[in-house]
Amino acid sequence: MRRYLPFAIIGAVFLIAVGGGALLFHMKQQRIAAARAAAAAAAAKASSSRKVGADPPHVRGSTKAAVTLEEFGDFECRPCGDLSPVLEKIEQDYGADLRVVFRQFPLAMHRHALEAARASEAAGLQGHFWEMHDLLYRNRFIWPGAPAARKAFEDYAKSVGLDLERFKRDMDSEQVNARIVADRQRGASLGVDRTPVLFINNRQVPANSLNPPGLRAAMDAARDGKPSE
């Protein structure tokens, strides 16, 4: 009997070690599961706190695009205007891989920004939002200093073939106002406090990356499914 005692002890120790390892493994798995559940709950909470914004949003590009770029912009904001041709070039280069969403975020510090947002939304009610969007940015050195910015907006409306009388009415409509308010609320829910602010696949692009190399790096990372730096 004594002869088998060491083997019995070794066996018992082995069983205890295996059992302890299994217990530790089980506890580790429980911790991982709990951490994942907490992360999922936090993500769900964050998602639920985000405002939807104007619906439907202004979208340019395929709904099947791998990358969605959401911009919060102000038509009188100089950096927004400077960024506009950069984004146009990126849209051209990435083609079907990119879907662009524009959100209204006119800043109170800009005298005509809200009126310009109204002009673009009024054009949108006639199916010409993007034409007005492009005109406002391309003429950004003209209309902000014009004696009557609204007259400039009406001229742009005529140039894209809008029903001018309807455009004038829509600029002052509650429907247009509600869309701008909804976009502002969405921006505020995402922490937007300036313009331009861009999100690529729901990740905010750092301010120091709002340039061609930085945006292309973020675009490529999103398209390839990699976390951006």
> What pLDDT score was predicted for residue 41?
45
pTM for this predicted structure: 0.78
In the chain, what is the greatest distance between 2 CA atoms, to the nearest angstrom?
109
DSSP state of 56: S
DSSP secondary structure string for all residues of 111-166? TTHHHHHHHHHHHHTTT-HHHHHHHHHHTTTTGGGSS-HHHHHHHHHHHTT--HHH
Give the pLDDT of residue 39. Answer: 46
- Determine the number of helices (DSSP H) and then strands (DSSP E) in the chain: 8, 5
pLDDT of residue 43: 45
At 199, give phi and psi (nearest 5°): -120, 135
pLDDT of residue 21: 55
Give the C-alpha separation, 146 to 111, whole Å.
12
- Each residue's pLDDT, cut to its tens digit, for the chain (229 residues) gives 556 555 556 655 555 655 555 555 556 666 655 555 554 444 444 455 789 999 999 999 998 999 999 999 999 999 999 999 999 999 999 999 999 999 999 999 999 999 999 999 999 999 999 999 999 999 999 999 998 999 999 999 999 999 999 999 999 999 999 999 999 999 999 999 999 999 999 999 999 999 999 999 999 999 998 655 5
What was the pLDDT predicted at 87?
97
Task: Identify the CATH number of the domain defined by range 58-223.
Answer: 3.40.30.10
